[in-house]
Amino acid sequence: MSLDQLYQQIILDHSKARHGSGLAGIAAPAGASMGQSHQLNPVCGDEVTLRVAVEDGKVAQISWDGEGCSISMASASVLSELAEGMTVDELHAVIGNFREVLRSRGKIHADPEILGDAAAFEGVARYAARVKCAMISWVAAEDALNQAA
Amino acid sequence: MALVSTPATLERAVPAMDNAEVLRIRNDFPILGQLVNGQRLVYLDSGATSQNPLSVIEAEQEFYEQRNAAVHRGAHYLAVEATEAFEDARQTIADFIGAGYAETVWTSNATESLNLLSYALSNAALWAAQGRGDARLKDLAVGPGDQIVVTEMEHHANLIPWQELAFRTGATLRYIPIDDAGALRLDMAAEILGSKTKVLAFTHASNVLGTINPVQELVALGRRAGALVVLDACQSAPHMPLNVKELDVDFAVFSGHKMLAPTGIGVLYGKQDLLDVLPPFLTGGSMITTVTMERAEYLPAPQRFEAGTQRISQAVALAAAANYLTETGLDRVHRWESELGQRMVAGLESIPGIRVLGPAAGQERIGLAAFHVDGVHAHDVGQFLDSRGIAVRVGHHCAQPLHRRLGLTATTRASAYLYNTTDDVDAFLEAVAGVRSYFRV
């Protein structure tokens, strides 16, 4: 597999222009129930703090702060863009699907109908050492959703 | 009649290593011949683990094919053969570092060596408190109010065992800081070390900065304080001539897998008079004289610290690795690798957006360089290099406090060994020069 299949344009773009990035600068909607989760990958130092605001069973907003490689930062950006407006159950299902694809070592293809832009991370599944990079913000979102519930 | 003879002292100058010799050396390392991602493998991760020459692989295989048995017991032929191979290996390694035979203790790796030592020292406190063992244990015991001193550039393996020793004994852990260029602040070391200092532990050469620490000065400071001096030789023993007696350290540790040997074998060197009085860490078979249901008496070093069946084939393989290095000549290896290190740093410094950690080009360093690429995470750098067949290490290299001190979380490190050519370094530099444009920085 070539490097370009791992670092797809959409990933490189999101790693630069990060959607939802900056906890301090993004005000949480009033009255929403909040959840926040901090995740750290001790191997490479990737770190994400992600906050989710839930209103009427829907994800009203995801915002996050993070430091790490392009895969981890792009993944958090794509997630926050994708999740807004989904119901909590829908987001849980998408996170489950994303995890399944990434842990499949390339055996399960990503379905853009379900994953949207996050399907671009399909190539990461072939690099065992990078799966955690792509997953870190999704694990944080799952944890934050459970807290907001 | 005049006799014409050549004085014995007039030795032929041994030529320095060059690419032609390295290419011959590479033939001894089967793993280096393969393609990675369709490209020639450029292995620049020997600081993490090194590759094995055929002579090492064959030594281990030969042991299993012809001599395998438990050592130090059994009256049969193979037991004698195995014991001989195992103890001959110890002598080879003792000679390799200028130590005595009984001063050379087998461990699994340097990490285990340091843990063994730190537990032996806290056991010394327990023994001394109960009047057990040699009277000198009172002086060796670490206790409340005592100090353990390390440096800010240590690998976690030479930091955490001392943190835990401080925790177990009530001692205080202090560290010698580094300056912005990565050199130890010896002026502050002189202030920190005092009569309360029981242990001074430091690395010979930094696995991140590439600096070679001034062992002589540090040993002198340690001696003045009356401290035990512990040398982490993981990045020196494989790469340069090392003589523990000349350096006058009390203990030294290193790992086999970083010096052409398999994993699972390491060494703890300790001065005989210290090893013979220190209590053991692991206890059990093969390290005792008399055992009753109530208590046991222990053998002197090295057996005192070698409980249970040992890593016999690995020890034999480590000796083969030491022989390989000795035959090549460690002074020559050191010079060659220093050249490669200089080539790396000079090349990296000329690439925009690269910050090299540690000494600048032209200043002494071992054959490795860790660096930060502005705007690109180390993991992405490593991935990019891997796609070109170049193997490097990314992350904090088991030195989080050092990285934090330098304002970084992760860096990329290239580390050379005697099987790397200048072409390897150039391929690495060429690839690094392409990183920032690939990631559109």
- Tokens linked to B234: 């993981």
Verify that B430 and B315 share a domain, yes or no: no
A1-10, A71-80, B208-217, B366-375: the lowest-pLDDT one: A1-10
Question: Is-contact B382 A48, C-beta < 8 A?
Answer: no
Question: What ipTM goes with this model?
Answer: 0.90
Q: Is residue B106 part of a domain?
A: yes
Q: Is the pLDDT of residue B7 over 60?
A: no
B306, B334: one domain: no
SS3 category, B426: helix
Instruction: Give pLDDT, residue B11.
Output: 52
The number of residues making up chain B comes to 441
B304 neighbors B72 (Cβ within 8 angstroms) = no
Q: Do B44 and B73 fall within a single domain? A: no
Read off the CATH number of the domain in which B248 is found: 3.40.640.10
Q: Is the pLDDT of residue A44 over 80?
A: no
Task: Give the pLDDT band of residue B349 (cuts 50, 70, 90).
Answer: very high
- B232 and B178 within one domain: yes
Residues B32 and B112 in one domain: no
pLDDT tens profile B312-325: 999 999 999 999 99
Residue B361 lies in a domain: yes
Flag whether B2 is in a domain.
no
Q: Are B262 and B280 part of one and the same domain?
A: yes
8 Å CB contact between B114 and B156: no
Contact B410, B396 (CB under 8 A): yes
Q: Which of B326, B357, B383 is the last residue of a domain?
A: B326
Cβ neighbors of B437 (< 8 A, separation 6 or more) are: none
Which one-letter amino acid corresponds to residue B436? R
Q: How far is B41 from chain A (nearest CA, A)?
A: 16
The enclosing domain of B22 has a CATH number of 3.90.1150.10
The residue written with tokens 């620490």 in the block is B213
Q: Which of A1-10, B200-209, B423-432 has the lowest mean pLDDT?
A: A1-10
Assess B439–A contact: CB distance below 8 Å, yes or no: yes
Do B120 and B267 share a domain, yes or no? yes
pLDDT value for B284:
96
Residue B293: φ, ψ to 5°: -65, -20
Q: Which domain holds residue B368?
A: 7-49+329-438
Say how many residues make up chain A: 149
Half-sphere exposure of A73 (CA within 13 A, CB side): 22
Active site residue B234: no
The mean pLDDT value of chain B amounts to 95
- Per-residue pLDDT band at B338 (split at 50, 70, 90): very high
CB A146 within 8 A of CB A139: no
| Residue B80, pLDDT above cutoff 60 | yes
**Helix (H), strand (E), coil (C) string for B133-147:** CCCCHHHHCCCCCCE
Same-domain pairing of B316 and B339: no
Flag whether pLDDT at B432 surpasses 90.
yes
Q: Among B310, B326, B342, which residue terminates a domain?
A: B326
What whole-number percentage of chain A has pLDDT above 70?
Answer: 99
Q: What value does the mean pLDDT take over residues A88-92? A: 96
DSSP for B196-208 reads TEEEEEEESB-TT
pLDDT value, residue A42: 82
- What integer pLDDT is reported at residue A2 of this predicted model? 84
Question: Residue B12: is its pLDDT beyond 70?
Answer: no
- Per-residue confidence (pLDDT) for residue A25, from 0 to 100: 83
Task: Return the H-helix or E-strand segment holding B75.
Answer: none
Residue of A5, A43, A70, A121 for testing the chain B interface, max B β-carbons within 10 Å: A70
Q: How many CA atoms lie within 13 A of B328 on its CB side?
A: 30
Average pLDDT over residues A68-96: 96
- Chain B residues in contact with A12 (beta carbon < 8 A): 439-440
The pTM of this model reads 0.93
Catalytic: which of B157, B348, B398, B435? Answer: B398
* Domain shared by B14 and B102, yes or no: no
Residues B307, B333, single domain; the answer is no
Are residues A130 and B383, on separate chains, in Cβ contact within 8 Å? Answer: yes
In order, the DSSP letters of B326-382 are HHH-HHHHHHHHHHHHHHHHHHHHTSTTEEE-SSPTTS---SEEEEEETTB-HHHHH
**Domain-located, residue B59:** no
Q: Does B5 have pLDDT greater than 80? A: no
pLDDT, average across residues B61-70: 97
Same domain, B151 and B294: yes
Query: Is B336 found in the same domain as B311?
Result: no
Specify if B57 maps to a domain.
no
What pLDDT is recorded for position B1? 46
What domain count does chain B have?
2
- Dig out the tokens for B189 from the structure: 């070391």
